[in-house]
Amino acid sequence: MEKYRFQRSQYCDGMCLTAADLQNQQEYDRSKRELLVRSLFGSGIVRGLSVENLPQRNELLVHPGLAVDPLGRTLCLPDPLRIPYARLFRQMPTYGDRWLLCIGYTERLCGEGRMLRMEDGIHLPVENRVEEGVRFSASMQPGEDEVAIAVLAAGVQSDRPFVWSVEPAGPAHPLRGQRSATGCLRLSPAELRPGNLLYSQEVSHGLGPGDVRVALAVDGWQGGRQCTISGAIGLFRLELELAVKVFPESGSFIAAARVPDGWDRDLRLRWYAEACEAASDEEKPPVTAAV
């Protein structure tokens, strides 16, 4: 049985070469490159992209750097970028929330190409370049095409968003050999299912395909102090059950939680992912989630 997915252009003398032919060749080269990158290296920060908090100016300063998103596309920030708090958050944060500063891919048409004169004599310019860029957003978990670069402790000050502190979301190093990653999730009681169950969306951990161990911890407050609780969380009087389903082929996972009756607030979780050591088929254990 034969199966085909990729198509590249086939040229011959005397053939009418159209824009569609050239676009197809570009798409072939790009999709092959992106497939290779995400299969071999996964996604994450390659270098730079450190984030500096400037509370006196109510903004963040993102330093130049390079990352690869879960689709295998390169995300390049060539110059420092200042991001005002007010333009970053899609919804107003609450005190103690941990948000992820995420970088994603964007593109726009630009340039002015020359076209042949039409039969009616009209000469129309056309945008003949595609400029690649990046966008930034703050969310509780990265989108399917985003990379988390920093963890923000955010709240409200003078009725406006405010960032109290910034922590790196992960080490900045070449993706080859990347061993660990972390991030935050927020599960809303509005999504509560029968049996008091909450599920996250499928989340990319950024380590690429392969055996990865994922663990969950509860992010919150006890005794007036911010803390993170993992392991046997019942020992700290939390009536919660946590579980993780890991998908080795896609490099992603789904988090689940069982909450007590009457649960009416967001459940904030922190996840930790670690690549497992390669093992022979005889020694390799089944893929499980450590909670």
Per-residue pLDDT in tens (0 to 9) along the chain, 291 residues: 676 678 888 888 888 888 888 888 888 888 888 888 877 777 888 888 989 999 999 999 999 999 999 888 999 999 999 999 989 887 777 766 788 899 999 999 888 777 766 666 666 777 888 899 999 999 887 888 899 899 888 888 888 888 988 888 765 554 555 577 788 888 888 889 999 999 988 887 777 778 899 999 998 877 778 888 988 888 888 889 999 999 988 788 999 999 999 998 889 888 988 888 654 444 444 444 333
- Give backbone dihedrals phi and psi of 36, rounded to 5 degrees, phi first: -65, -45
* The two structure tokens encoding residue 246: 């890991």
Residues 193 and 157 reside in one and the same domain: no
Residues 149 and 51 reside in one and the same domain: yes
Q: What is the pLDDT of residue 83?
A: 95
> Of all helices (H) and strands (E), which one includes residue 286?
none
Q: What is the pLDDT of residue 280?
A: 43
Q: What is the pLDDT of residue 201?
A: 83
pTM of the model: 0.64
What residues form DSSP beta bridges with 84?
59
Q: Is 28 inside a domain boundary?
A: no
Specify the number of domains making up the chain: 2
Residues 187 and 154 reside in one and the same domain: no
Q: Is 148 inside a domain boundary?
A: yes
Residues 45 and 158 reside in one and the same domain: yes
Q: Is 27 inside a domain boundary?
A: no
- Per the listing, tokens 């003398």 go with 13
| Domain span holding position 199 | 179-291
Residues 291 and 204 reside in one and the same domain: yes
Rg (CA), the chain: 23
Q: What is the pLDDT of residue 258?
A: 94
Q: What is the pLDDT of residue 281?
A: 46
Q: Which of 175, 209, 244 is the last residue of a domain?
A: 175
Q: Which of 148, 175, 202 is the last residue of a domain?
A: 175
C-beta separation of 49 from 74 below 8 A: no
CA–CA separation, 271 and 98 (whole Å):
12
Q: Which of 123, 146, 175 is the last residue of a domain?
A: 175
